[in-house]
Chains A and B, each alone.
Chain A
């Protein structure tokens, strides 16, 4: 079996991550903040340390700015639904996933916000001045996909944010780092963003069911969900302080522990080492696909892309490619529309979609070569 669907969820997971979750669940899985016994306090300390790990990884001043969510979609919705006010203008790009476009289009359809979508070029790149030019006095939020889940193109976030801030309109910036967290360097303080939404189960090597949101200090967001937090327990109102304000109910504590262990694995290997390996695998992958007759490859520039590559071959439906790879070669990729119709329109792959291959640190050159050989066979059939 060769797994090349890491943009959907990474596999395999580091043994260290699995062991950290096993140990937590079998030895110390109390409920943080819900009691004063050793099991509860021990679990609270583990969650605290995990939050510190996330904060350090993204270079966040204070770990209280890190909110755990069930996934990146929930993190994005937390800001879109909790930060925007009636009449606000929002700017986003034509490379967004539906986790951004659907909540924004919903608010637009209710005439709650005014939405501007800035077009990327047909490679998926967005020009910073194009986004900044759409920012007006009442623009409250700009949402930008950091790395495409279709063709892996990475936006020049630093230049985009700089251009937006130079407009001086006070617009806040959120980046959707679903694909880039753990696969590209993200320095929350340095790039000067206001919200960072990420998931744990992709390049951060954690389990499914855990993600998070980093919020710039001083920004208030109305919670999507209200309830028990283990704090302010004598009051019927929601706490005003983070992280409790945005974390109601028992959290996915085993997932949080797994996320932190995934990040520690990345730190142990070195993020730069992981990025370099994935770039080499991707270059090999692109080169192999380019050699297949009739194959059109959708990819970013070599130094500015993730290990995510989309392709189509002449008149072969992408679903047939995926089926042949699955059934004849035990190679797992994704095909179709990757929950990002606007991005497919931008890249020219709508409505048929594309085949997509996505690598991780655990893939090998030999696996890439076997995939290319299998593709050559599929092409001939």
Chain B
């Protein structure tokens, strides 16, 4: 799992930018990247982060008013959907 990357998908570019600002303010190292096709989410960009931060990220995203979001892990074995939340 060392080579895996994790992603959070949000519904809009606005929300991805908001998350970027919020997560970086929390000291989490993230990147905004084009949505990997295997994840196939509707928004063109996602937040990419190291998988060890997943609990911290889930807490922050759940705490805020983001509405729908998804957490994904991508590795050589494929894409694993960890959480998809709809509000």
Report A's interface with B, CB cutoff 8 A.
Answer: 32-37, 40-41, 44-45, 47-48, 51, 62-64, 229-235, 239, 241, 243-244
Closest Cβ–Cβ distance, residue B57 to chain A (whole Å): 18
| 4 nearest CB pairs, A to B | A36-B34, A48-B17, A33-B13, A232-B42
* CB-CB under 8 A for A64 and B44, given A36-B33, A241-B67: no
B11, B16, B33, B40: the one contacting A241 at CB < 8 Å is: B11
A48 to B34, CA, bound (A): 17
A230 to B13, CA, bound (A): 7
| CB <8 Å contact, B65 and A62 | yes
Question: Chain A residues with Cβ under 8 A from B67's Cβ?
Answer: 241
* Least Cβ–Cβ distance between A326 and chain B, in angstroms: 45
**Chain A residues with CB below 8 A from B33, complex form:** 36
Provide the bound-state CA to CA distance between A47 and B13, in Å.
10
Residues of B contacting A234 with CB < 8 Å?
A: 40, 42
Given A33-B44, A36-B34, is A231 in contact with B20 using a C-beta cutoff of 8 Å?
no
**Interface pair A36/B44, CB less than 8 Å apart:** yes
A230 pairs with B44, CB closer than 8 A: yes
Q: Indicate whether A239 sits within 8 Å of B12 (C-beta atoms), given known contacts A34-B44, A36-B44.
A: yes
Residues of B within 8 A of A (CB): 11-18, 20-21, 32-35, 40, 42-45, 65, 67
CA A35 to CA B35, docked complex, whole Å? 9
The answer to whether B17 touches A44 (Cβ under 8 A) is yes
B44 x A233 contact (CB < 8 A): yes
Q: Cβ of B42: which chain A residues have Cβ within 8 Å of it?
A: 231-235
Residue A36 contacts which of B12, B45, B65 (CB distance < 8 angstroms)? Answer: B45
Question: In the docked arrangement, what's the CA distance between A239 and B13, Å?
Answer: 12
* Distance in Å: Cβ of A338 to nearest Cβ of chain B: 36
- Known interface pairs A62-B65, A231-B12, A241-B11. Does A33 touch B20 (Cβ–Cβ under 8 Å)? no
Majority-rule SS of A interface residues: loop
Closest chain-A Cβ to B19's Cβ sits at a distance in Å of: 10
- Say yes or no: A33-B11 contact (C-beta < 8 A), given A41-B32, A48-B21: no
User: What are 11 A-to-B residue pairs whose CB atoms are below 8 Å?
Assistant: A33-B44, A40-B45, A41-B32, A44-B45, A45-B21, A51-B14, A230-B43, A231-B12, A231-B42, A232-B43, A244-B12
- Cβ of B5 to closest chain A Cβ, rounded Å: 14
B14 touches A64 (CB 8 A): yes
Q: Which residue of chain B has its CB nearest to the CB of A64?
A: B14
Task: For the complex, give the distance between the alpha carbons of A40 and B45 in Å.
Answer: 10
Per the bound structure, the CA–CA distance linking A161 and B14 in Å amounts to 31
The CA-CA distance from A129 to B67 in the complex, in Å, is 40
Asked whether, in the complex, the Cβ of A41 is within 8 Å of the Cβ of B45, the reply is: yes
Q: Pick from A36, A62, A231, A234 the residue with the most CB of B within 10 Å.
A: A231
Shortest beta-carbon distance, A52 to chain B, in Å? Answer: 8
B12 near A45 with CB under 8 A, answer no
Residues in chain B near residue A51, CB distance under 8 A: 14
In angstroms, Cα B67 to Cα A295, docked, is 60
The minimal Cβ–Cβ distance linking A182 to chain B, given in whole angstroms, is 24
**Most chain A beta-carbon neighbours within 10 Å: one of B11, B12, B40:** B12
Contact B17–A241 (Cβ < 8 Å): no
Instruction: Decide: A35 near B14, CB < 8 A? Known: A41-B32, A45-B20, A241-B67.
Output: no
When distances are taken between beta carbons in the complex, the residues of chain B under 8 Å from A241 are 11-12, 67
| Minimum C-beta distance from B36 to chain A (A) | 10
> A121 CA to B75 CA in the complex, in Å?
72
Decide if B14 touches A45 in the complex (CB within 8 Å). no
Q: Once the chains bind, are A243 and B14 in contact (CB under 8 Å)?
A: yes
| Chain B contacts for A33, CB-based, 8 A | 12-13, 43-45
